[in-house]
């Protein structure tokens, strides 16, 4: 059994500011995000000939995926939802006036939609910033219609592994990086929320940088800083930062510095109307968590 997923207390106001500042240049620097989003869009093929009437893109950012889904299903009501209003202001740049995408500024854990009103929930690299993943998934189940599709990607704990290790080597007991849930925890949370037939995949991407400064600049450019409420304040001292850089330099290979990014992708279906959730310690899912199909590449 995996360790229960505990709420991660992120500072939502800080997240909103960070992603708001990143909005105008996000599309240019978010190379990995675009790749993961493209792969996730391809998985919409599981819908086969179905034509969803209402699609919700949670954590839409500047709206590239929302625009792609609107193009694929012109008759669908596509909604881009994001915590940062400046991100939503970028959405019209991705669309055409004859294929408008609706925009909603809201939190993933508090969706302003009626029960059973959404056919597809799509979310690419957003849920790692949600303070409480089980609460968010319960909210997703609430708004999904019976047998509706949930398709999302999120970062796993091996993301920025080299940077985390460099901070630890420099004496940082709590590296200034946000924590991410493991694939087993994501699977447990899906089952606890009552989703059916979940399939999880894990991919490990390795990006390379000329120096540590380039990596840190990119993290700031995409708004991916330390968003914990109890994060250490201040810069931590020049000496400690220099120690981190020196430790990271020890990982240089072939003239570049590697940076690992673990991406977890999940596909699941909303249960039929009236299906129960897990209550207390009683497991009411159709199969145990350790039998979730997991594909590793």
Determine contact, residues 145/119, Cβ cutoff 8 Å: yes
Take residue 152 and report the two structure tokens written for it: 């999302």
pLDDT for residue 157: 93
State the Cα–Cα distance between residues 183 and 218, nearest whole angstrom. 25
- Cα 100 to Cα 61, 63, 80, 95, 121, distances in angstroms: 16, 11, 11, 6, 18
DSSP state string for 95-156: S-TTS--EEEE--TTS--S-TT-EEEEEEES-GGG-S-HHHHHHHHHHHEEEEEEEEEEEE-
Residue 294: the pLDDT is 57
Distance CA 166, CA 171 (A): 9
Distance CA 276, CA 221 (A): 42
The encoded tokens of residue 164 equal 């985390």
Are 258 and 201 in contact, with CB atoms under 8 Å apart? no
- How does pLDDT run along the chain (297 residues), one tens digit per residue? 454 454 445 666 666 666 666 666 666 667 888 999 999 999 999 997 889 999 999 999 999 999 999 999 999 999 999 999 998 999 998 888 778 999 999 999 999 999 999 999 999 999 988 888 999 999 999 999 999 999 999 999 999 999 999 999 998 888 888 788 999 999 999 999 999 999 999 999 999 999 999 998 888 777 665 655 555 554 456 788 899 999 999 999 999 999 999 999 999 999 988 777 654 434 443 344 444 455 555
Output the pLDDT for position 173: 83
CB–CB of 56/81 below 8 Å?
yes
Q: What is the dihedral of CA 135, 14, 127, 288, to 10 degrees?
A: -50
Give the N- to C-terminal CA distance of the chain in Å, as an integer: 22
Say what the pTM is: 0.84
Residue found by looking up tokens 């993943």 in the block? 133
Question: Which residues neighbour 290 within 8 Å (Cβ) at sequence distance 6 or greater?
Answer: 1
CA distances from 146 to 118, 164, 201, 222 (A): 9, 41, 24, 35
Judge residue 27's burial from the number of C-beta atoms within 10 Å of its C-beta, 0-12 exposed, 13-18 middle, 19 or more buried.
middle
As to burial, measured by CB atoms within 10 angstroms (0-12 exposed, 13-18 middle, 19+ buried), residue 49 is exposed
Fold of domain 12-157+178-206+263-296: Rossmann fold (3.40.50)
């Amino acid at each position: 059994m995996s360790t229960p997923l505990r709420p991660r207390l992120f500072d939502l106001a800080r997240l909103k500011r960070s992603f708001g500042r990143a909005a105008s240049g996000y599309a240019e620097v978010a190379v990995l995000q675009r790749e993961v989003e493209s792969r996730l869009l391809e998985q919409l093929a599981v819908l086969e000939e179905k034509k969803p009437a209402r699609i919700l893109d949670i954590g839409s950012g500047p709206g590239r995926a929302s625009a792609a889904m609107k193009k694929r299903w012109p008759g669908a009501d596509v909604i881009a939802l994001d915590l940062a209003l400046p991100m939503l202001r970028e959405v019209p740049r991705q669309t055409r006036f004859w294929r408008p995408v609706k925009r909603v500024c809201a939190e993933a854990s508090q969706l302003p939609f009626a029960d059973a009103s959404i056919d597809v929930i799509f979310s690419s690299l957003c849920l790692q910033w949600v303070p409480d993943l089980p609460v968010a998934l319960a909210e997703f189940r609430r708004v999904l219609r019976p047998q509706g599709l949930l398709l999302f990607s999120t970062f796993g704990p091996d993301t920025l592994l080299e940077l985390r290790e460099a901070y630890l080597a420099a004496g940082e007991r709590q590296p200034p990086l946000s924590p991410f849930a493991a694939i087993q925890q994501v699977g447990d949370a899906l089952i606890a929320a009552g989703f059916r037939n979940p399939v999880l995949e894990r991919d490990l991407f390795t990006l390379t940088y000329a120096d540590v400064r380039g990596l840190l600049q990119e993290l700031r450019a995409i708004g991916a800083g330390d968003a914990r409420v109890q994060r250490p304040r201040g810069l931590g001292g020049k000496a400690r930062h220099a120690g981190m850089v020196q430790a990271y330099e020890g990982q240089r290979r072939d003239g570049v510095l590697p940076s690992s990014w673990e991406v977890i992708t999940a596909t699941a279906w909303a249960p039929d109307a009236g299906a129960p959730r897990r209550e207390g310690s009683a497991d009411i899912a159709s199969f145990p968590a350790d039998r979730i199909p997991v594909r590793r590449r």
